[in-house]
Amino acid sequence: MSGHGYGPSFVPWMVAVAMLSTGSRIGFGHTFAGSTLYVVLGAGVAVVSTLSRSLRSDRIPITPPTVIMTSGVLLVIAAASSLSRSIGGPASLFWPTISIGAAVLLTFGVWALLERRRPAVTRRTGLAGGILLFGQLLDAITTIIGIDILGFYEQVTLSRLLINVTASLPVTPFLGTTWLFVLLKGGLTVGIVVWTGTAHDLTSFERQMILSIATATGLIPAVNNLVLQLLS
């Protein structure tokens, strides 16, 4: 089974799940708890992928990645519309713009370095690897802004424990409480990209799936943080 195109096709579903997860806490989407929506992500993608394979024929040349991407975009539009109605008043775009801009710049910088030092890695991981970097870096930046600037509260237990430990270090007044979290997240992300790009025993499909799962753990909370920034 070819894996080309699968990784990026999951991104709209991740974004929609993040919107619905945040919305369940601010006024819409009460049918699902935030954790349940992660199950909905996997189940929804699986159902759509299965249906697209069963419908594919010579006369209807559709592919699972195309259908997954298209259905995800439609879900994002629906989630954004519901979220917009729930917010009601004007949203603040300042911090989301800063977060996305910084993540884009850092992603291009890290990717350029990888292309120079490990060209085989960037060639094998492709767009899915770049999206993984962007999603995790966006999560790191929105966490810095959310906790150290806007006073948000970290909900993930392991991340919160790490941030609390960092807060007790003598450099905290100068670097904030999230610098160690960001360093570990960045290092782990680059490590995953390098490993998937150098592991010769992985098929293309397996590589795309690993990168997609790793992307979801960063992109979903990152979009969640962006929505909260809109409300700050």
* Full pLDDT tens readout for the chain, 232 residues: 344 566 788 899 889 888 877 755 554 443 344 556 566 666 666 666 666 556 555 555 566 777 778 878 888 888 888 777 776 666 788 999 999 999 999 999 999 999 999 999 999 999 999 999 999 999 999 999 999 999 888 777 788 888 888 888 888 888 889 999 999 999 999 999 999 999 989 888 889 889 988 998 899 889 989 988 988 7
Residues 39 and 122 grouped into a single domain: no
Residues 21 and 1 grouped into a single domain: yes
Q: Note the pTM of the prediction, 2 decimals.
A: 0.83
Residues 80 and 104 grouped into a single domain: no
Which of 89, 109, 135 is the last residue before a domain boundary? 89
- Judge contact between 169 and 179, C-beta under 8 A: no
Which structural domain, as residue segments, surrounds residue 229?
A: 91-232
Distance of alpha carbon 121 from alpha carbon 105, whole angstroms: 20
Q: CB burial class (10 A; 0-12, 13-18, 19+) of residue 120?
A: exposed
Which of 64, 89, 114 is the last residue before a domain boundary? 89
Residues 165 and 220 grouped into a single domain: yes
| Domains identified in the chain, total number | 2
Q: Who's near 202: CB < 8 A, 6+ residues apart? A: 196, 210
Residues 8 and 23 grouped into a single domain: yes
Which of 42, 66, 89 is the last residue before a domain boundary? 89
State the CB neighbour count (10 A cutoff) for residue 168: 8
**Per the structure block, which two tokens stand in for 93?**
């775009």
